[in-house]
Amino acid sequence: MANNTKKPSFVKEVWNSRELIFRLAKNDFKTKYAGSYFGIIWAFVQPIVTILIYVFVFGLGLKMTPQSTEYPFVLYLIAGIVPWFFFSDAWVSATNCLIEYSYLVKKMVFKISILPVVKVISSLFVHFFFILLAFIIFTIAGRMPGVAMIQIAYYMFCEICLILALTYFTASVTPFFRDMTQIINITTQLGIWLTPIMWDESTMPAWVMHILRLNPMYYIVTGYRDCFIYGKWITQHSGITVYFWILVIILAIIGSRTFNKMRVHFADVL
């Protein structure tokens, strides 16, 4: 028999299970690379190598320079790609949480609604490292972020909410449609080019940017750059802030309702 058919309060379940979530997240982070020789080092190596490749190709090869700031391309890239690494890794891993933890899903007493949160927190550990690394690199380069850096906590919270809003839908569909993971992989590969991470939005026509700003990750990436580079405050983006949260709330409602509707069938298909 599947889990209890009573629809739970997601926020209440997560809050009441916060200690369990943190323990499971730490265990998930440790076991993810447990079978490899270098262990959790691989969690940091791949993103660093990716950054180096982009710097070599776009910074040294194509000699791209951001027109909206005097900062070197490598700093402009790092400020934008750090939140993207977290987004892509957390979304993919959280989408597969029900399949990965199928043995827990089949337990009637286990609150399966916390599993997406566990995977996001697990990815958050690596994200903390890259934020710290970015701060160190900026400081060494003589461009230490200013007081606007305190907003990083807000934008991190925004990104977590966005990921969870998306994940509760994709995770609930994946047990029935296993191709969802591949669709997300393609979406993230396309999304990194539709977000001003490796290119400067000032080079784009205004009408194109009006469309690309509909991408919620535009708000996150711009926010991280405001913290590291531009020193702008949240209040200077009131319009897009309202849009972002309306979109996240809509996605969260869709995701939570889909999850609650499908959860009684998870144990039957896993």
Q: Where are the alpha helices (DSSP H) in 141-215?
A: 152-173, 180-194, 206-212
Token pair recorded at residue 164: 């969870």
Residues 155 and 245: their CA atoms lie apart, in Å, by 12
Token pair recorded at residue 25: 């997240």
> Is the separation of the CB atoms in 89 and 123 below 8 Å?
yes
> Is the separation of the CB atoms in 164 and 251 below 8 Å?
no
SS (H, E, C) 45-70: HHHHHHHHHHHHHHHHHCCCCCCCCC
Give the least confident one: 33-47, 64-78, 136-150, 243-257. 33-47
Tens digits of residue pLDDT in 179-235: 898 999 999 999 999 999 988 888 888 999 999 999 999 999 999 999 999 999 999
How much is the mean pLDDT over the chain?
87
Q: What is the mean pLDDT of residues 245-270?
A: 90
pLDDT at residue 4 in the model: 43
pLDDT at residue 66 in the model: 73
The residue length of the chain stands at 270
pTM (whole model) above 0.75: yes
CA distances from 248 to 70, 156, 161, 217 (A): 33, 14, 7, 11
Q: What is the DSSP letter of 156?
A: H
Residues 24 and 12: their CA atoms lie apart, in Å, by 18
pLDDT at residue 231 in the model: 92
Q: What is the DSSP letter of 101?
A: T
> Is the separation of the CB atoms in 221 and 195 below 8 Å?
yes
Tens digits of residue pLDDT in 130-173: 999 999 999 998 899 999 999 999 999 999 999 999 999 999 99
Give percent above pLDDT 90 in the chain: 55
Exposure class string for 17-34: b at 16+ Cβ within 10 A, else e:
beeebeebbeebbeebee
Token pair recorded at residue 238: 């009131």
Phi, psi of 238 (to 5 degrees): -60, -40
Residue 164's closest CA among 125, 114, 98? 114
Phi, psi of 63 (to 5 degrees): 55, 45
pLDDT at residue 1 in the model: 39
Residues 146 and 170: their CA atoms lie apart, in Å, by 38
> Is the separation of the CB atoms in 244 and 100 below 8 Å?
no
Residues 194 and 93: their CA atoms lie apart, in Å, by 22
pLDDT at residue 266 in the model: 85
Question: ∠252-255-256 over CA atoms, to 5°?
Answer: 85
